[in-house]
Structure 1
Amino acid sequence: MDPISSRNRIGTKVACLFATVLLLGPANAVSADRLFHKPGLIYFWALNDPCSDETMEQMARAFAEGGVSAVCLHPRAGLLKPYGGEAWFEFIRRTVDRCAEKGLDVWLYDEDPFPSGNAGGRITMEYPEYRAMTIRRFEPARDAENQNLYCFPGGTLLWCGLVHEATREARDLTAQVGLVRRKWVELNPWDSRYYYPATPKVSCPRSWTREPEYAVEVPAIPDGFKLCAFVAQPTEAEHWDTDVDRLNPEATRQFLQRTHERYRAALGDRLGKQVQAIFLDEPKYGFGWPWTRDMFDSFRARYGYDLTPRLWQLFSRSDDSESMLTRLHVRQWCLDRFREAWMEPVSQWCRSHRLALVGHISPEDDLVQQSQCVSNLFPCFPYFTVPGFDLIIPRVGDRNHPLIHLGVLSAVSAAQQLDRPGVLSESLACSGLEFTVDEAARILRWQLMMGVTTHVIHCAYNSQEGLRRIEAPPDFGPRSSRWQGMVELGREMAGLQAWVRDATQIAPVAVLWPIRSFMAMPMETRAGENFTGDWPLRNETVELVRACLDRQVGIHLIDEADLWRADLADGRLRLGKAVYSHVVIPPCLVVHSQTVARLRDAAKMGVEVVQAGDPPRWQETERCLEPLAAAWPAAANRARAVAGLPRLLDLEDNGQDIRCTVWQSNGRTVKLLMNLNAQPVRARIGERELTLEPGRITVEAERKETNWGRSDR
């Protein structure tokens, strides 16, 4: 049978070899799978002006006529309708009803603007005790007048003392810390009017001091010691003076009362019907080392030691086992508290009100930032109805941007391992004013081929007046010149989504997620362009993933804790929908002892365990870090390790930037192929030759049973 292809005005081409491609109809078609929303594109509807009835009616009509899957009502910069008051929730109710009249499904957005958790900034404005706090380290400076006096900035004093990093001795001076005021202010002029009005003035030169700061007297600092002080100070936020403390369950309760409960009161039984979901956006416990008021007591109860005299180890560049273990414990405590205090209450509220919880946390792509903002995203994915990520630059995961692979792979891996019906991507923001629909199509096709089912387009703006035009360009909505092209792209995506919605991905190789190593490493504090610097260990993981994809190896990422709970039988690891015949250990510093034991068991049962690059040097136990002396499995360099992995597609030519995924659903198996190169690529697959056009998806139906766990060894 000849390949069947179709084109539209934005250059879409879908080819199917040896099978007829059955594309879904319009985006308002009902899907038979478990995914809660219609096929097609979802739009952030950016509410960024006075939101007049005329504007809202025009936008809603255009969305409905364009066949979009749903709209997410998103307060954005420029909003001139007061957020969070009674009139706001009445406005949202009217908007939901307006959309419902037109058959348009609605998602709510839980914040103005982002990240989620602060009710538009009102919580920290009215409840300063709910401000997020960050631990900051200071080396107190010697006073010019009193050579024994050392001063450092104010905040909540956590610990001060002398530290010898080589011997790890810490001498506590916290109780000796007091306050001084060293900033002199000259009151010029000063006279008696301030005390004796309606009386002849008497002038006198005066001055006083202000701005208290902490200080401690230390007659002499012993050799090898440093004087260190640790203070908790408010965490700055992009849109508000301070961020909210998401490690404090009381702050979360206040957020739910001011946002979710107000929406429930306004919308009633519309929740779970016309309103399908709530989108949360980029909540995290902060950047750096967070602090909340019960942290030290809770930490001691869990780990059995006082953290305060070891705070210096969080900031030290030392890689000794005790310092690494302290960092691991703090990161794990913060992750677990974030899940308990923030993720679980928000997720539970949505479940109890029949709403899907969607969105993402970020950063999904960067192991370094992720370890410093949320510790590890994999334990957070289960709280979502569908795991999500974002991509806010106009690029795809190719040879020039390999880091971008990690975000989509994380979410797709979690969805398969948790048996979730889809994967969400918030996409296309910050793509620039000249960005075209063709460029958007390439990105969305790449995401779909990788497993994304739920594309949320950022943004469709009410207004482009003034600086709104460059708030996060471009505009993809009904008032944009891109709109008709986006409508056509939405129809294409609605059809292609049929291959991946609620489908099982064939990915026989699991790459161990090495986040534990980054949690243990010293935190980089550089700013600006070198925010996360050039981290060789991160680069090793990124290049390993790219090498697998360039060789058309079907891969997932697997977190250590998920490896522990996977079923092991018949030479396979099974976790949700995912089935793995191979586990690849990337270069890393530390793994958990349970991981070592699980991998040994897997190898004995026939799973092939591959060490690609330098093996871990440490294993974390319940009490300490122990050297991992045994060189098991034998290490191979990256190229040799990848060459031995099973391929989804045996390309005879160079496979660089040729992507392939395999999906099973309703008794059918298909391969999705995409050429990310700028030029067409001639590919020979067995006895067939194909021309893979750049930026387009080719769909190939499987005709026979395939042993996807087979390697080339």
Structure 2
Amino acid sequence: MTLRLDDNARSFEASFQSPSPLYRGAPFWSWNGELEKEELLRQLDVFREMGIGGVTIHPRTGLTTEYLGDTFMELVNACREHAHANDMLTWLYDEDRWPSGFAGGLVTKDKAYRQRHLLFTPTPYQGVTSACHNDSTAAGSRQENGTLLARYAIGITDGRLATYRRLGEEEAAHPGETVWYAYLEVDTDSTWFNNQSYVDTLNPAAVRRFIDVTHERYKATLGHAFGKDVPAIFTDEPQFTHKQNLPFAEGKKDAILPWTDALEADFTAQFGGSLLDHLPEVIWDLPAASPSLWRYRYHEWIAERFASSFADQIGSWCKTNNIALTGHMMEEPTLLSQCRALGEAMRSYRSMQIPGIDMLCDWMELTTAKQAQSAARQFGCPGVLSELYGVTGWHFDFHGHKRQGDWQAALGVLFRVHHLSWYSMRGEAKRDYPASISYQSPWYKEYRTIEDHFARVGATLSRGTAVCRVAVIHPIESFWLAFGPNDTSGDERERLENQFSNLTEWLLRGLIDFDFVAESLLPAQAHVTDSATFTVGRMPYEVVVVPGMRTIRSSTLAQLEAFADVGGRILFVGEIPSLVDAQASPRAILLAERCERVPFERSPMLLALAPHRDIRLQTSSGKSVDCLLYQMRQEGQHRSLFICNTNRELFLGAANGTLVITGEFKVSALDTSSGTSAPVAASYRHGTTLIPAEIPASGHLLLRLEPGQCTAGISLIPEPGIETGRLASP
């Protein structure tokens, strides 16, 4: 078969009744022991019995068969052939464990490709070599194996960088100054990385070597099936050395920054000035809270180099070879986490044919999912992938599986990679983040109930395009400016972080769908016409929100000015940017004077955006509910509407009221268990469709909307239970 990364070639009815295996789960199949062909094929049959649509082959702790060796690849091919014969898909994984890039040590045995970092310290080398960290993160640590790049004389006044200069080779500091040292260090051996190290993801040559070792190896064995029954290759938590800022501006702790050999030369060529000459501005805040252009440029350079070196190269290879790049970045959810490990999460999605996320511990990271969904919509991707259910334990029940999958489906997740399905329980494997979603769980034969549901949800929500009217400029670049010592920048980072989280929660739970717009991606995507529609890639928006930012790009501002010129609606929320490209400018303030402004508060923001809302639940008390999430799709004249209740209180968590949908529609309810549909009784008022509804906790509605009216049909309020008897008390 030739695979389509959507299911739209068939009619809606056929797709809903008999969904493609693409929308059934493809769990991480943990290859964690001595692999035997017969057992592997038996487990594939178990997955098929569970309603699973494919597997993601994932080497993990315990694997004794040589990674990427001949036997390993023969077994990969045998599993792919068996899966194909049973109408299942084989998804690939690009690493021995994680994070992706070191190829199980095959890349980083060459020290030229090992991760680097800059150690910024007041303590010169003492001749003591420290052990490298032995966990799966790329966090750097003092190694004392590096090269001295520069020395600085630093003067701190009231916690601010009052004076600094780069010292000559024999130059001494003046009285009252402190000498700091910048060393370029290389990661040493780590047991996690098979006694090698993580890769330098800021070095394009190192990533090219990773592709040669890993992707070309899979292509030699399975390339004929790429784009057929081998849809994608999963990359897991690529990152760079995590940025470590100072706890106290006047303290004597070390700071660590991501670095690569070519950084100084390439940075100087791009910006016309030496980063090493201005490095203290990256570390400390300037007097009077003045912005540092050099700090901004450093974070921008790192973010762009990481995305271009890793995701762009691998995504380009995948596109050329007819296989999708999917997976997820490291630490996507908060401004701080992505600043430390990625620079910016959304930038790498430009090269992922299926952007992905990671959702562990039954967390609900709305920001993580919304960033990926926004990029997927704007780039015209078929949907979002999620690695989910990890670290939920043996007690996590079907309500949990459904609830977690439902809210993510509302935020664009169509492809589910269950974490985790063990090949073996021997030794350490049995403690590898259970539960095992496979034959080791007593309910595995009943799991088809879950898979049938999500297969039909995915088949429905893959069709057409999203109905989303609101764009929000992503504030990550303002956060970069606040990445200084905790005691001088921490409060500002917390303020920006709270705004980012609150805006996401307020809009989504206020049933106003929106997309983030990454300023770094906008120049290649934006298009303003005289129709007062702000178009970003494939997505047209009616209103653009500028959410309490300190700086904005001149390229973004130019697009917003053009949008305002044709009558487009722009809403400034909270602080108006006083900086353009991190430099003082009144340009954004002048634009704001032509536009609408509201404070950064929930009620004024929701009221201002109410004209762009497509659905709401009108309760008998008049109070709004905050437990619903939704996604609406437009396909020709038809729409599909998925609503889920995220409430965990099974007996008291139902959402009751009248569902109000903008526009007049004949409504059908889609049953994800049986694949059938039924007309729904509705009424109509002032151009809206009204449907009495009750959505239980962990429940959902999946509706098909067709222009017109229909007042006869089933009710979306379940019949009340009838008491038939009571048990006597003991």
Give the TM-score taking structure 2 as reference length.
Answer: 0.79
1:246 maps to 201
User: What is the root-mean-square deviation in Å for CA atoms of aligned residues?
Assistant: 2.9
Structure-2 residue corresponding to 1:61: 45
The equivalent residue for 2:403 is 442
- Larger CA deviation: 479-488 vs 553-562: 479-488
Quick one: distance in 1 between partners of 2:202 and 2:143? 26
Matches within 5 A, 1:227-626: 227-235=179-187, 239-240=192-193, 242-288=197-243, 289-318=257-286, 324-396=292-364, 404-523=365-484, 535-564=494-523, 565-569=525-529, 570-620=531-581, 624-626=583-585
Instruction: Say which SS state the counterpart of residue 264 (structure 1) adopts.
Output: helix
Q: Is the 8 A contact 1:552 1:655 kept in 2?
A: no
Q: The residue matched to 2:420 in structure 1 has which SS?
A: strand
**CA distance, structure 2, for counterparts of residue 416 and residue 244 of structure 1:** 31
Pick one of 78, 98, 103 that aligns with 1:114: 98
Given candidates 681, 690, 695, the residue that maps to 1:692 is 695
Question: Are the aligned partners of 1:44 and 1:74 in contact in 2 as well (CA < 8 Å)?
Answer: yes
User: Hey, what's the Cα distance between the residues in 2 that align with 1:576 and 1:499?
Assistant: 23
What residue identity is the alignment partner of 1:337? R
AA of the residue aligned to 1:694: A
Instruction: Tell me if 1:673 matches 2:643.
Output: yes
How much does 1:461 deviate? 0.8
1:67-216 correspondence runs (5 A): 67-124=51-108, 126-140=109-123, 153-164=144-155, 169-173=163-167, 175-176=169-170
- Take 2:14 and 2:77, find their aligned partners in 1: how far apart are those partners? 38
Matched to 2:606, the amino acid is V
Q: Return closer, same or farther for 1:370/1:451 CA change in 2, 3 Å cut-off.
A: same
Q: How do residues 624-663 of structure 1 correspond to structure 2 at under 5 angstroms? A: 624-626=583-585, 630=590, 632=593, 633=595, 634-638=597-601, 639-645=603-609, 646-653=612-619, 654-663=624-633
CA contact (8 A) 1:499 1:665 kept: no
Q: 1:702 to 1:455 in 2, by over 3 A?
A: same
SS at match of 2:692: strand
Larger Rg: 1
The Cα offsets for residues 405-453 of structure 1, whole Å up to 9 and x where unpaired, read as: 1111111111111112221111111112321222111110111122211
- SS at 1:368's partner residue? helix
Task: After TM superposition, give the deviation of residue 359 of structure 1 in Å.
Answer: 1.0
Q: CA deviation at 1:553?
A: 0.8
Residue by residue over 1:325-379, the C-alpha shift from the partner in whole angstroms, topping out at 9 and shown as x without a partner, is: 2122112222222233222221222222221111111322111111222212222
Q: Which of 9, 16, 26 lines up with 1:24 in the alignment? A: 16
Moved more, 408-417 or 599-608: 599-608
* Contiguous gaps of at least 5 residues in structure 1: 1-19, 31-36, 144-150, 177-216, 397-403, 707-713
SS in 1 for 2:406: helix
Q: Given residue 650 of structure 1, which amino acid in structure 2 is its aligned partner?
A: R
Aligned length: 617
Cα deviation per residue 1:488-536 (whole Å; 9 max; x = unaligned)? 211111111122114311111111111111222225679xxxx999722
Alpha-carbon distance in 1 for matches of 2:119, 2:501: 31
Greater RCO structure (CA 8 Å; 6+ sep): 1
Residue equivalent to 1:189: none
| Structure 2 unaligned spans of 5+ | 1-11, 127-141, 244-256, 661-689, 710-730
Q: 1:222 aligns with which of 166, 172, 175?
A: 175
Rounded to whole Å, the distance in 2 between the matches of 1:466 and 1:343 is 35
Q: Secondary structure at the match of 1:222?
A: coil
Give the TM-score, by structure 1 length: 0.81
Structure 1 residues 248 and 161, CA gap change in structure 2 (3 angstroms)? same
Secondary structure of 1:175's aligned partner: coil
- How big is the shift at 1:238? 8.3
Secondary structure of 1:49's partner?
A: coil
Task: Tell me, in whole angstroms, the C-alpha distance in 1 between the residues paired with 2:374 and 2:626.
Answer: 22
Report the AA paired with residue 698 of structure 2: G
How far residue 266 of structure 1 moved from its aligned partner, in angstroms, is 2.9
Q: Quick check: 313-322 or 600-609, which moved more?
A: 313-322
Tell me the distance in 2 between the aligned counterparts of 1:607 and 1:464: 59
Q: Conserved in 1, the CA contact under 8 Å of 2:378 and 2:538?
A: yes
